Structure 1
């Protein structure tokens, strides 16, 4: 009987030690995010499709909304706009994180409008 109690006690200690730890922070710090990502200003929004154009230091970037809320014009957003693909963006004026897909970057205004019109159809 003592061996059974000892076995149950050791089993309980082992199972209590097997807890789930979160190694990835789901809610990044906005201040750190703004220091480590590029700043862009929303220049144009197609509210029908949710796609929009960002004015960055390196030119314009065409963004496809990948689920979430479409920003307003002149909102400040922070992300790696030079890297195409799906990523997280922080909207400073509205105060939320959302997912976007960067179609292309380093564009002129006319090229960005042409590409936005092409992907919105």
Structure 2
């Protein structure tokens, strides 16, 4: 969700940059009659565009960082699941070995000395 949020914000930035570029083209073509100081408006639009570009870089870097962190966590999760499976298999093998060698019966008999209900 967080990575998608960055993608949405990045898309919004691109949209604002396109809007700025379109407005600048219209200003330069003389199609915007409501602006009296075209030079000042162009300077302001250049500044706005630079700010959007900076924000775009910050958002892109943050998204990349979160993507890397997410991938690391997924990798760690997969490794832990694999390790858990291996431990379960080893535990099963040990229990089978103890059962075959009579270890469980021996433990049960010794415990029965303390609590006869266990037999």
Query: Whose relative contact order is higher, 1 or 2, with alpha carbons under 8 Å and at least 6 apart?
Result: 2
TM-score by length of 1: 0.33
Larger Rg: 2
TM-score by length of 2: 0.33
More helix by share: 2
More strand by share: 1
